């Protein structure tokens, strides 16, 4: 990827009303996403006496996160682009779709949104803490890093294909639901092993509120590497090169 595609931005951008509105939209979208996603896990624990580590608990988590992310991306799309994920913002930065200064605003807003959502969950549930992400028995830190890389690659690749690609056409209409679906599917694949975060902010809020930082670095390193690979692949092969012309088809 040409380095000139990565823009730093100007200091004025940090205080520009559009940038501040976009950051606020990211804060609200993240709050909606984490409150519904993490809250569903807490509700499942309450209803099943802490039996969230079951097949039904995994399915419930996948559905809740898929639905919540669909909504969170949709409500922020026209204001901030609906990133709702520091890794997605990082991928957009590498593709030259957002400046570094605006990315920093987004990252701050996303992290704060997650923390506030977890604090609200703790208060409204009478003191329950949102469980921090952790590794399952037999899963090493580097195993989890690979999981996070692959899952986040799929997520950011989907974002590029359905929301960023200038050739997306009508596919852009389904971007929020496609993004929600890939997250739900990845939770079904990786949730039993490392929680399937794919999102540093989603991991950050529970870690702050419960003050649990064991292997927390996994949920930053993996998603950022996965996002970078997806951005580099899609931008260089399918956007910068113009992609391939579609094969001729016959009309019947």
Token readout for 167 is 């050739």
Residue 2 pLDDT:
46
User: How far apart, in whole angstroms, are the C-alpha atoms of residue 204 and residue 199?
Assistant: 9
Closest CA to 88 of 80, 133, 112: 80
Residue 52 pLDDT:
60
Encode pLDDT of 41-91 as tens digits: 999 888 887 766 788 889 999 999 999 999 999 999 999 999 999 999 999
Buried b (16+ CB within 10 A) or exposed e, 85-110: bbbbbbbbbbbbbbbebbbebbbebb
Per-residue pLDDT of the chain (252 residues; tens, 9 = 90+): 444 467 787 778 777 889 999 999 999 999 999 999 999 999 988 888 776 678 888 999 999 999 999 999 999 999 999 999 999 999 999 999 999 999 999 999 999 999 999 999 999 999 988 889 999 999 999 999 999 999 999 999 999 999 999 999 999 999 999 999 999 999 999 999 999 999 999 999 999 999 999 999 999 999 999 999 999 999 999 997 664 444 333 443
SS3 96: coil
């Amino acid at each position: 990827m040409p380095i000139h595609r990565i823009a730093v931005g100007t200091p004025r951008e940090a205080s520009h009303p559009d940038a501040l509105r976009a950051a606020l939209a990211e804060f609200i979208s993240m709050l909606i996403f984490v409150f519904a996603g993490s809250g569903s896990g807490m509700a499942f624990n309450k209803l099943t006496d802490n039996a969230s580590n079951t097949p039904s608990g995994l399915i419930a988590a996948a559905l809740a996160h898929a639905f919540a992310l669909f909504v969170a991306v949709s409500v922020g799309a026209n204001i901030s682009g609906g990133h709702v994920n520091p890794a997605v913002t990082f991928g957009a930065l590498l593709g030259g779709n957002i400046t570094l200064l605006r990315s920093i605003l987004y990252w701050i807003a996303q992290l704060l949104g997650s923390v506030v959502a977890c604090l609200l969950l703790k208060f409204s549930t009478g003191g329950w803490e949102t469980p921090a992400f952790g590794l399952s028995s037999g899963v090493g830190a580097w195993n989890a890093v690979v999981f996070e890389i692959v899952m986040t690659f799929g997520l950011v690749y989907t974002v590029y294909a359905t929301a960023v690609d200038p050739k997306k056409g009508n596919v852009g209409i389904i971007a929020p639901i496609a993004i929600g679906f890939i997250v739900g599917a990845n939770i079904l694949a990786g949730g039993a092993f490392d929680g399937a975060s794919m999102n540093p902010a989603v991991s950050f809020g529970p870690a702050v509120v419960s003050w649990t930082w064991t292997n927390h670095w996994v949920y930053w390193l993996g998603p950022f590497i996965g996002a970078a690979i997806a951005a580099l692949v899609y931008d260089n092969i399918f956007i910068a090169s113009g992609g391939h012309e579609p094969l001729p088809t016959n009309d019947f």
